[in-house]
Amino acid sequence: MMLISGQLAAQTEIVKDNNDRRLAGATSFIVDSVKTNSSAPLRIVENRAFQVGEKLDYIVRYGRIVAGTSRLSIPDIVEVDGHPCYHILSEAWSNSFFSTFYKVEDKIQSFTDVQGIFTRRFEKRLREGHFKRDQYFEYDQVAHLAKGKNDTTQVPPFVQDVLSAMYFIRTQKLTPGDSILIDNHDGKVYPLKVVVHRREKVNVRAGKFQCLAVEPFLQTPALFQQKGRVVVHLTDDHRKIPVLMTSQIYVKGLSVGSIIVELEKMSGVVK
């Protein structure tokens, strides 16, 4: 459903051009560690936004029709090549009615470095109608390599996958007018741009929230083959919880309307 999904450049600096903020592997909220030995962290990102045990449940609507459900969760911390990582899980299922003509059963997993909030492993299994895609990548963030099942490609420092990018954005201070670019990888490297539009109140099943309306410009398929405009409402606090997402839905390359992903309930969130 991404959202987010998420342009980290090779340098560790911030470049400001009017209201366009280019994240280049560091922000004023990121402290780069001095790499005195191989075990030193590559960078440290302050995270007050999410924690292990967070579970966000959504309903997915096509117009007024409830098409299915989705969930974002962080079930545990696992080690990837000796590095502790948040196990971030995105799942989506169409209901029995919607499945009769467009069945969805997606599972996306990101193993995101606890200290640096960048990807170390990414797994994707999409089943959307007749569309299928399976991907697996291991990321060497020292050698800057993405290792797939059949090839290895060069990637920028602190490259993100589409899911880890959203959680990285949640750790950042956002203000209307900001524009963030992040180096993202999904088989190839592409820029993920996130524009912060405005503040507004949102009423969803989980309650009423003061939010920031942000727009990620995705260049890769996500939930329901998103190819059109996506607007995400994040809570306007330190947690940046995604409570509402709207996007266009495509079937066999044709736009058939828009879908709404609405937060129904949440648990285990940071206070």
| Span 44-82, pLDDT tens digits | 999 999 999 999 999 999 888 899 999 999 999 999 999
Which pLDDT score is estimated for 202? 97
**First-to-last C-alpha distance (Å) of the chain:** 24
In sequence order, which residues have a C-beta less than 8 Å from that of residue 265 and are 6 or more positions away? 57, 205, 206
* Domain positions in the chain: 13-267
Which pLDDT score is estimated for 249? 66
Ramachandran quadrant class, 31 (left: phi over 0; alpha: psi -120 to 50; beta: rest) = beta
Which pLDDT score is estimated for 6? 30
Which residues of the chain are under the pLDDT cut of 50? 1-38, 221-226
Which pLDDT score is estimated for 227? 56
Could you tell me the CA-to-CA distances from 228 to 136, 167, 216, 217 in Å, in that order? 25, 22, 11, 9
Which pLDDT score is estimated for 10? 26
Q: Is the dihedral angle over the CA atoms 267, 235, 248, 263 positive or is it negative?
A: positive
pTM for this one?
0.82
Pairing of strands 65-80, 83-94: antiparallel
Which pLDDT score is estimated for 184? 94
Which pLDDT score is estimated for 229? 79
Report how far residue 179's alpha carbon sits from residue 71's, in angstroms, rounded to the nearest whole number: 27
Nearest to 118 by CA among 221, 20, 30, 230: 30
Which pLDDT score is estimated for 144? 97
Strand partners, 229: none
